[in-house]
Each structure stands twice: as structure tokens, then as C-alpha cells.
Amino acid sequence: MALENVKHWEIGDVRITRIVEVAAYAADIGMLLKDAGPEIFEPYLDWLKPNFVTEDGLMLMQWQAFAVQTPSRTLMIDTCIGNDRKLHFDIFNDMQTSFLEDLQASGIDPLKVDTVCCTHLHYDHVGWNTKLVDGAWMPTFPNARYLFDTTEYQEIRHLEEIGDWHGSHLPDAIDPIMAAGLHEFISAPGYQVCDEIRMEHTPGHTAGHCAIHIESRGERAVITGDLLHHPIQFAIPARHGSFDHDPVKGAQTRQKFVSENADGTIMVIGSHFSDPSAGWIIPDGDAWRFVTERPNAD
Ligand SMILES: [Zn+2]
């Protein structure tokens, strides 16, 4: 077990546990923001360094999942990439990580997870839906209901059908769930998963993409999913992101999200943000910045 992969936050009566699968991956910002070089970070380095940008001007990203425990429920929000996969990107091919051991060591029993709720259905958010057992893909959380947004499902199934690699993981990570009858189609926008957890439609990255809001005893947090990938996008939310299926809508969604969650009281957990992964959005001139220390309540 890799202790640094696990982190906990408390939001009222809700406990959020982060399990990192791929930590602190450094890459050129041009991957995310077309034609951008390291100079784009310069105005924001005082809050981007050292957690989110390296000394060499590379962006840091990571891949992680979140277990959420309410007084009565245990949920997984996204399930990362998974072991033993054959995937489009070499770095994620046939991974052998301690993800499942880390999850168990953090106090989450996969058999007690009652709900799997994904921000969207890309390969890096649904991978541990299943695991390879004796050559067959089996549900990792066999006692859970897996919630699939209908719009999201239809889009990614279509991509699979036309041979687009974005859908190539469905036979391994989605179809075995459906074959076992563990799936439930929902209309995610505004869907209340349980008293404390609500899905907000945040389209652009994918058609049915959702952010996950958590609220308990007046405290609030939100898990972004891929409505943004890196904290620099709080400063320049209107700039198009290369990973978005619909970059125009993605930019609109980001601007709306940032302006609605920037009062400094909502903990924002970035699905691809490197450690510490969570912080608060605060106004900064005409735009916003992301701080990893909680701002003063007044
Ligand atoms: Zn992702």
C-alpha cells in the first residue's frame, strides 16, 4: 500500500477518501491548451507552483478516484483506469498499480460500496468498474448500483460503434456491468444520488459530463470531473481545452462553474489535480485563482 496515495477530507458528516492511481505526471501544457507554452503559466506562478507546475514549466496532472461515505451510504465517484487494460495510450497500457489494495487499506471494502457514480464514461474514469479475474472482466463492486447517465452512455456507445478509440474500453469496463444487471440509467442533470450528493450537468468535455456536489451540515464540496484538467483553467476558463469533445461548450461550462463556486467556502476537488488535489476558488482581479489553504470565512 502506498500511503501517500490516500487522503481524507470531512464535509460535515461526509468523509471523502482520495485514492491516487497515477501521481504527479508532468506534461507539456500544449497538450491541454493548443499552442500554449510554459510562458502561459508566468502570471500565475505564485499560486501554481510548486503543486501544479514543475520548475521546468510542465503541468502536473494525476489520475485519482474518490470514495464518499455518508452516514448511511458508501459510494465511489469515478474509478480511474484499472490494471491489465489494453488502451490507446502506452503509459496506461497493462498498468499494475496498488489501487485496489490502497482503497481497501483506506478503509473502503469494495463489497460494501453501494453506488458507483461516474462524472463521465471515459476510460480513465470507469476503469476499476471491473477487474480481470481468471481472464474475465468482473464487477469490482458487485453489490453496487452503477449509475450511467443516458446522454453520456449514448454518446460513448456511438463512438464505440464507429470505431473511435474513446469507446474502445466499453467491452471491458461497461458491458460486464450491464451483463450483470448492475447498471441503472439515469438522467443525471440535477440527479440527487442521496441526501448529500447531487449531480450537476457540466457538458463540453463530454455530452453528459457531470460535476458531483457534496453538502452536509452547511459544508460544501464539489468534484470537478474533467470540466477542467488543470488549475490554470480557473485563471483562463474561456480558453478552449483540447480534451473537450465540444470545446465551445466546455469553455462556457467552465466560466459558469468558476463564477458559481468562487465564494471561497466550497472545497473544489479537481479530478486530475496533483497533490493536494483540493482547494478553493477566489476572485483575482477580472478572473480567479485557486488556493490550497482555506480562505478566512469573513
Ligand atoms: Zn479524465
Query: pLDDT tens for residues 103-155?
Result: 999 999 999 999 999 999 999 999 999 999 999 999 999 999 999 999 999 99
What's the CA-to-centroid distance between 207 and ligand 1, angstroms? 14
CA of 296 to the centre of ligand 1 (A): 31
Question: What per-residue confidence (pLDDT) applies to 297?
Answer: 58
Cβ(184)–Cβ(148) below 8 Å: yes
Tell me the percentage of the chain whose pLDDT exceeds 90. Answer: 92
Calculate how far, in angstroms, residue 228's C-alpha sits from the geometric centre of ligand 1.
9
Is the model's pLDDT at 294 over the cut of 60?
Answer: yes
Looking at residue 1, its pLDDT comes to: 57
Q: Are strands 145-149 and 136-139 parallel, antiparallel or unpaired?
A: unpaired
Residue in the block written with cell 461515505: 69
Q: What's phi and psi for 61, nearest 5 deg?
A: -135, 160
**Which tens digits make up the pLDDT trace of 190-208?**
999 999 999 999 999 999 9
Q: Is the pLDDT of residue 172 over 90?
A: yes
CA of 283 to the centre of ligand 1 (A): 26
Question: Which amino acid, 195?
Answer: D
CA of 227 to the centre of ligand 1 (A): 9
Domains of the chain: 3-226 (3.60.15.10)
20 alpha carbon – ligand 1 mean position (Å):
13
Cα–Cα distance measured from residue 130 to residue 48, given in angstroms and rounded to the nearest whole number: 35
Query: What pLDDT is recorded for position 110?
Result: 98
The chain-wide mean pLDDT, for the chain, equals 95
The DSSP output letter for 273 is B
Average of per-residue pLDDT across 242-265: 96
* pLDDT surpasses 90 at 78: yes
Interatomic CA distance for residues 198 and 191, integer angstroms = 6
**Ligand 1 centroid – CA 217 distance (Å):** 30
Note the pTM of the prediction, 2 decimals.
0.96
pLDDT on residue 87: 84
Beta bridge mates, 192: 198
* Ligand 1 centroid – CA 297 distance (Å): 32
CA distance 203 to 206: 6
pLDDT band at 58 (very low <50, low <70, confident <90, very high): very high
**What's the pLDDT at 22?**
94
Q: How confident is the model at residue 188 (pLDDT cuts 50, 70, 90)?
A: confident
pLDDT for position 88: 80
Q: Rounded distance, CA 209 to CA 149, Å?
A: 8
Q: How far is the CA of 124 from the centre of ligand 1 (A)?
A: 5
* d(CA 129, ligand 1 centre) in Å: 15
What is the pLDDT at residue 5?
82
pLDDT of residue 298: 53
Q: Give me the helices (H) in the chain, please.
A: 45-48, 99-105, 123-126, 150-161, 170-173, 175-179, 232-235, 247-260
The mean pLDDT value for 50-57 works out to: 97
